[in-house]
Structure 1
Amino acid sequence: MSRVQDLPAPLAARLKGTDLIVFDGDCVLCTGFFRFMLKHDRQARFRFATAQSPLGQALYAALNMPLDDYETNLVLTGGRIHTHLDAFAAAMAALGWPWRALAVCRWLPGPVKRPLYRLIARNRFRLFGRRDTCYLPTPEVRARFMEAP
């Protein structure tokens, strides 16, 4: 897990105090996660960005992650950057009950959770598909997307 303050200064300043979910906009599973969060984040705590956006690209680059194969969503909460299954756990914990119960996956042993997450991530397009068209958010949803710094 990384910290927002460890990112390059302009990016860290842009993200300070922001809870953010960065997801692969081409992945059906990832956009499903985004829609789930949008529906259940009743306090509108989270902002959103796609991995393909300039902000998403800047974050993946700063974290030395591939810029063309988004094997993980990024979830920023409380100044921390979560990846892989810990990202899912952090997002669920932020939603409150009953979803908070799913955050228990954070405490799975690494030798279990890493291969499990990678198995799903590497096969997500084969299992769930790829979006043929871009998701077009409503104006209310668009207001929750973060633009590039």
Structure 2
Amino acid sequence: MEEVKDKKIILFDGVCNLCNSSITFVIKHDPKDLFRYAPLQSDIGKSLMEKHQIDPKETDSIILIDQEKAYTKSSAALHIARSLSGGYPLLAIFLIIPAFLRNLVYDFIAKNRYKWYGKKESCMIPTPELKAKFLG
């Protein structure tokens, strides 16, 4: 993990179509190459969740690890948006809303993501060009 010391790590549900599309979106809007990625289902994903004492039953969609601090759910999404190109950093203003309120919306989407967007049989396999951005 030494090679990602200065990178932010996004853990995502590797079998979720919405999550995979979101990772593709982040990659396209990350011109500074700030992020690295790993499925929650991977050994690295499981190890990082354990290290940060995150219960996979409570958070099963997106986690951001930034300088040894872990963000989950809507906080993760908004902190990710803060680092993207374009107008997306403006979304960070929603961090002023208490997390329990933001997470009501987030949890509703997360609960229905397989029904609305579908599910893969296995984790996403990155193209050779993107493989260096994925851990594990």
Given the two structures, how large is their TM-score scaled by the length of structure 2?
0.85
Q: Percent identity, please.
A: 28
What is the count of residue pairs matched by the alignment? 136
**Equivalent of 1:48 in 34, 37, 54:** 37
- Residue matched to 1:113: 102
3-state SS, counterpart of residue 126 of structure 2:
coil
TM-score after normalising by structure 1? 0.78
Deviates more, 1:119-128 or 1:102-111: 102-111
Residue segments in structure 2 that go unaligned for 5+ positions in a row: none
Q: Work out which of the residue numbers 66, 70, 93 in structure 2 matches 1:77.
A: 66
The structural deviation recorded for 1:80 is: 2.2
Across the aligned residues of Structure 1 and Structure 2, the Cα RMSD in angstroms comes to 2.3
Deviations 1:27-81 (A, max 9, x none): 0111111000111111211111111111001122233434477523111224421
**Whole-angstrom CA distance in 2 between matches of 1:26 and 1:70:** 15
Matched, 1:137 2:126: yes
> Which consecutive residues of structure 1, in runs of 5 or more, have no partner in the other structure?
1-10
Where 2:130 maps in the other structure, the secondary structure is helix
Question: Which whole-Å CA distance do the structure 1 matches of 2:7 and 2:125 have between them?
Answer: 23
User: What is the DSSP-based 3-state SS (H/G/I as helix, E as strand, rest coil) of the residue aligned with 1:104?
Assistant: helix
Q: Say if 1:92 and 1:102, in contact at 8 Å, map to a contact too.
A: yes
Hey, what does 1:101 align to over in structure 2?
90
Secondary structure, counterpart of 1:20 in structure 2: strand
Kindly indicate whether the alpha-carbon contact (under 8 Å) linking 1:19 and 1:46 is maintained by their aligned counterparts in 2: yes
Which residue number in structure 2 is paired with residue 126 of structure 1?
115
* Range with bigger deviation, 23-32 or 90-99: 90-99
| Distance change (3 Å), C-alpha of 1:53 and 1:138 | same
